[in-house]
Amino acid sequence: MDLDLVDCFLRVAELGSINRAAVEMEMTQPAVSRRIAALEHGLGVTLLARDARGVRLTPAGEMLLAGAPALLRGASLLRDELGRQARTQVSIGLPFSMHRMVTAPFAAREIRNNPAVSLRVYEGFVHNLRQSMQQGLIDVAVMDFQEAPGAGVEQTPLVREHLLLVGPAGADLDPTREIAPEQVGASPLILPGRPNAVRLSVDAYLKRNGQKYRRAADAETLALCLSLVKEGLGYTVMPYCALHDDPQLALLARAPIQGLAITWSLYVSSARRHTAGVRSVSSSLEGEVQRLVKSGKWSFAQAAAVSRR
């Protein structure tokens, strides 16, 4: 399979148009069409169906679209290793909630201080990061602890932090006093829908304590959850790292929830853990988290007291 043809197919599939893909790749429309035709001929299947609005994927095209990113990344990594290139690409994935606390400062420091590594950073909800890691798109990630992390990854627990009930300014929430399950159950909640990791934790916590989940709204971004809370439309549940350095933190009240915490673990791809770049980045990321916890900058958190797996 010619990977240049696969890359061309991805551009067309993402843009939904051969003409737009041709413009982006600085090629003529007939040249792009010939590449797609060559790929279809080589695979013996039809990948795209043309219509008046552009192109749409056939079932075979959908399958190739799902598998092609991991295929292209694997080929790129193999070229790097075979060619012993000076720079090694390392992909990391961190939750949206860690953007200000960990992700942005860590990425800036690595780019500045580690020229041997070409860093690619993914941010997302944990369930999306886990899927990307399973697909081979991410080498190193920080995600919630799992008893059975699955094949192909190594897990090291890093930090355990209380989850906080977050409400509008003026709400009866004291950051120095834990709140009981009954108060969480009585609060109309604004959270992402399942399978968001925090949402699953809150659902299980309320059920375990004989409470029901009171839904104010489902909001699929952290920023939207906080905006709706600031408007007084309900409460949300977040780790402190999601609130760190929020420019409008004064508009929010917060308190730790009794008996509800999340453990963040470092995950490293077993297939890539021996490469110098992955070892360097994973070690630096682990050290960064430990430094934040030890310094006290990461409020409501402590080093994870869970054995390595």
Domains of the chain: 3-72 (1.10.10.10), 82-156+265-291 (3.40.190.10), 160-262 (3.40.190.290)
Residue 78 has a pLDDT of: 66
Six-digit token pair at 22?
Answer: 């041709």
Work out the average pLDDT over 237-251: 92
When the pLDDT of each residue in the chain is averaged and rounded to a whole number, the result is 90
For residue 43, give the nearest of 35, 32, 55, 51 by alpha carbon: 35
What pLDDT shows up at residue 308? 42
The whole-number average pLDDT for the span 197-224 is 96
Phi and psi (nearest 5°) for 75? -65, -40
pLDDT category, 222, cuts 50, 70, 90? Answer: very high
Burial 209-218 (b: 16+ CB within 10 A, else e): eebebeebee
Burial class (CB in 10 A: 0-12, 13-18, 19+), 44: exposed
CA distance 142 to 157: 9
- Sign (positive/negative) of CA torsion 143, 130, 136, 115? negative
* Residue 78 neighbours by CB under 8 Å, 6+ apart: none
Q: At residue 34, does pLDDT exceed 90?
A: no
Most confident segment among 23-37, 82-96, 104-118: 104-118
The backbone region for 136, taken as left when phi is positive above 0, alpha when psi lies in -120 to 50, beta otherwise, is left
Q: Is the pLDDT of residue 54 over 50?
A: yes
Structure tokens at 32: 């792009």
Residue 237 has pLDDT above 80, yes or no: yes
Q: Take residue 55 and report the two structure tokens written for it.
A: 């192109």
pLDDT at 277 over 60: yes
Q: Is the predicted pLDDT of residue 306 greater than 70, yes or no?
A: no
